[in-house]
Amino acid sequence: MKFTHFRDLQVWQRSMTLARSIYSITAPFPPSEAFGLVQQMRRAAVSVPSNIAEGHGRPTSKSFALFLSQARGSLNELETQLELSIQLGFAKTAQCSAVLQEIDELARMLHALQATLRRPSAQPR
């Protein structure tokens, strides 16, 4: 599997959009959460495209797959934090439903990319 740049990956592009969405969703959170939930959610959201980019720069498909696994973990973390922010009344369910669906889709995309990298035909990039 060969890509010219991590920016060519649709999963990276969509995860960048997700990160921007999380910044928008968390902007009106109470100031008391600036160093709590807001910071954690933003960090988890930024971690997804960052891990994809970092993994893409690694020399083997196996190491790339490891970073994709870390990106999936950040998606799970973000989903949990988003659900908590809804339960705490910081975010509206209607506002977050599309983002939660995007998180689910990105997790599937990362899983599929990992599976592709595990195939014997996957060439080092």
Question: What average pLDDT does range 52-67 have in this prediction?
Answer: 93
Q: Give me the percent of the chain exceeding a pLDDT of 70.
A: 94
Angle at alpha carbon of residue 83, lines to 77 and 84, rounded to 5°: 90
**Domain spans, the chain:** 6-118
* Calpha distance 104→100 (Å, rounded): 6
Would you tell me which CATH number, out of the four given (1.20.1440.60, 3.40.440.10, 1.25.40.10, 3.40.250.10), belongs to the domain 6-118?
A: 1.20.1440.60
Which of 59-63, 86-90, 91-95, 117-121 bottoms out in mean pLDDT, i.e. has the lowest? 117-121
* Residue labelled with tokens 């910071």: 39
Q: What are the CA-CA distances from residue 98 to residues 5, 74, 85, 93 (Å)? A: 28, 18, 15, 9
For 17-46, what is each residue's pLDDT tens digit? 999 999 999 999 999 999 999 999 999 999
Question: Can you say whether the dihedral through the CA atoms of 68, 71, 77, 82 is positive or negative?
Answer: negative
For 88-100, what is each residue's pLDDT tens digit? 999 999 989 999 9
- pTM of the full structure: 0.91
* Calpha distance 116→93 (Å, rounded): 34
